[in-house]
Amino acid sequence: MTSNGASGPRRPAGIPPAGLLKAGLLALLTALALPAAASDWQRYGNARFQYWIDIPPGFSKVEEADNGDGGVSASPDGAAELRVWGSYPTAGSLAAEARERQAFDQRDGWSISYQTQNKSGAVWSGAKGNRIVYARAIPGCDKAVAYFRLEYDRKRQKAFDPVISRLVKSFRSGDCRAR
Residue 94 lies in a domain: yes
pLDDT of residue 174: 85
DSSP secondary-structure letter at 110? Answer: -
pLDDT of residue 35: 36
Q: Which amino acid appears at position 65 of this protein?
A: A
pLDDT of residue 14: 57
Residue 71 lies in a domain: yes
Structural domains in the chain (count): 1
Residue 28 lies in a domain: no
pLDDT in tens, the chain (179 residues): 544 555 555 655 555 555 544 444 333 333 333 333 456 999 999 999 999 999 999 999 999 999 999 999 999 999 999 999 999 998 889 999 999 999 999 999 999 999 999 989 999 999 999 999 999 999 998 899 999 999 999 999 999 999 999 999 999 998 776 55
Beta strands at 81-87 and 70-74: parallel, antiparallel or unpaired: antiparallel
Residue 25 lies in a domain: no
Q: Domain of 113: which CATH number?
A: 3.40.1000.10
Range of the domain at 137: 43-178
pTM of the model: 0.76
Task: Give the residue from 127, 169, 134 showing the smallest Cα distance to 41.
Answer: 169
Residue 88 lies in a domain: yes
Contact 151, 160 (CB under 8 A): no
Alpha-carbon gap, residue 172 to 94, rounded angstroms: 15
Residue 9 lies in a domain: no
Residue 16 lies in a domain: no
DSSP string, 77-90: TSS-EEEEEEE--S
pLDDT of residue 33: 36
Residue 129 lies in a domain: yes
pLDDT of residue 9: 52
3-state secondary structure of 175: coil
Contact 87, 70 (CB under 8 A): no
User: Where is 70: in which H helix or E strand?
Assistant: strand 70-74
